Structure 1
Amino acid sequence: MSRVLFLANPYDGSARPILGLANELINKGQKVTFFSSDEFQEPVEGIGADFKSYKADLDVFQQKKSDETKSGLISALLEPMKFIDDIVVQIRGLKFDYAVFSPAYPYASIITQLLGIPKAQFGVAS
Structure 2
Amino acid sequence: MSQVLFLSDPSQADVSPILGMANELITRGEKVTFFSSDVFKGPIEEIGAEFKAYNREVDVFQQRNESDEEKPKSGLISALLEPMKFIDDILVQIRGLKFDYAVFSPAYPYANIITQLLGIPKTEQAVIN
Measured in 1, the distance between the counterparts of 2:109 and 2:98 equals 21
**Aligned residue identity for 2:113:** I
Aligned: 1:59 with 2:59: yes
Q: Larger relative CO (CA 8 A, sep 6+): 1 or 2?
A: 2
Aligned: 1:86 with 2:89: yes
Measured in 2, the distance between the counterparts of 1:93 and 1:2 equals 15
Measured in 1, the distance between the counterparts of 2:75 and 2:93 equals 18
Structure 2 equivalent of residue 95 of structure 1: 98
Tell whether the 8 Å contact from 1:7 to 1:105 is kept in structure 2 after alignment.
yes
Q: How does 1:28-47 map to 2 (within 5 A)?
A: 28-47=28-47
Structure 2 equivalent of residue 120 of structure 1: 123
Measured in 2, the distance between the counterparts of 1:41 and 1:48 equals 11
TM-score, normalised to structure 2's length?
0.92
Measured in 1, the distance between the counterparts of 2:98 and 2:90 equals 13
Q: Which deviates more, 90-99 or 56-65?
A: 56-65
Measured in 1, the distance between the counterparts of 2:75 and 2:96 equals 26
Matched residue SS, 1:51: strand
Structure 1 equivalent of residue 25 of structure 2: 25
| Structure 1 portions without partners, runs of 5+ | none
Residue 61 of structure 1: how far off its partner (Å): 1.6
Measured in 2, the distance between the counterparts of 1:63 and 1:36 equals 13
RMSD of equivalent CA atoms: 1.2
Matched residue SS, 1:22: helix
**Aligned residue identity for 1:96:** F
Structure 2 equivalent of residue 2 of structure 1: 2
Structure 1 residue ranges, 4+ long, deviating more than 6 angstroms after superposition: none
| Structure 2 portions without partners, runs of 5+ | none
Residue 91 of structure 1: how far off its partner (Å): 0.2
Q: How many residues align?
A: 126
Q: Report the identity percentage.
A: 71
